Amino acid sequence: MNINLNAYRNQIHLDDEFTPIVKNDSLDQLLTMLVEEPSGMELLGRMDLKNGNYTQRDLVRAMLTVRPSGNVPDSMEALVDAMLQKELKHKQITDHKDIQRVSSNYPASEFVSVWNGDITTLEIDAIVNAANSQMEGCFVPFHNCIDNVIHNAAGVRLREDCATIINEQEQLEQTGNAKITRGYNLPAQYVMHTVGPIIRNALPTEKDARELAKSYEACLNVAKEYGRIKSIAFCSISTGVFGYPFADAARIALNTVADWLEKNPGTIDHVVFNTYGQTATDTYLELLNEWRR
């Protein structure tokens, strides 16, 4: 079954403002704590780090990536918060309000932007994560998928919330659904998690196209239901390691968002398509400049 927002919002304290526990950060203390956990050394051994020249921060990131959900001590949460809040101060944060709206025949142009940047540095109500069906983030150290990047920047509480939702749902997340959590140590207040279709050695089918559209719709529908989200940034769902051809996925994203905004006026003020790379950015801009449904 697919549970709705009210079935999990209280369990993950969705309505509570996040206040990071910021004390003195200590990578040495955090790494020691991770290694000294019951499965710490086993996890370190399974990461296959191949004697690389890794810093303490690299090892902390890797250990947090492979660490399963559950039994997170308050002291670990505090150390992770302190580390990420310190790093956040040195990042260049972009306010979504400063991103220019697109100029084209696209019907939702006054509400839409294309932005080439790091989605974990965007100050906005919500960002969208392309999750897997387990929905607890990527467990592969240093994997550069958006799922891993977002979980690493948000901190350990994000995985805990996702695990809580999946436990409440009693099954893996189905393709085309969406859930919402707080953003924790991200500049974004919330994260929308959605599972898009996976394309393996073949062209997308009509079913794949429908499921991808459903992922975009589901995120917007949950945002509308929650009522506190007026701006949202989409990553390129199902592209990259999920294999959906980028231009086809972008066309579906633009069509779906335009249709949804037309049917739900006054609900979302700003939709940002996060492209992360010049080629991807050019693809979106070309589609917009030559717009036709």
CATH topology assigned to domain 5-289: Leucine Aminopeptidase, subunit E; domain 1 (3.40.220)
User: In this predicted model, what pLDDT tens digit does every residue of 219-257 receive, in sequence order?
Assistant: 999 999 999 999 999 999 999 888 999 999 999 999 999
State the pLDDT at residue 24: 72
Q: What is the mean pLDDT of residues 115-122?
A: 97
State the pLDDT at residue 46: 62
Q: How does residue 6 score in pLDDT terms, banded at 50, 70 and 90?
A: very high
**Residue in 163, 222, 185, 5 with CA at minimum distance from that of residue 80:** 185
Q: How does residue 47 score in pLDDT terms, banded at 50, 70 and 90?
A: low
The answer on pLDDT for 18 being more than 80 is: yes
Task: Report yes or no: 110 and 101 within 8 Å, Cβ to Cβ.
Answer: yes
Residues 45 and 67: their CA atoms lie apart, in Å, by 12
User: In this predicted model, what pLDDT tens digit does every residue of 264-285 receive, in sequence order?
Assistant: 999 999 999 999 899 999 999 9
Q: Where are the domains of the chain?
A: 5-289
Residue 194: both structure tokens together: 């959605």
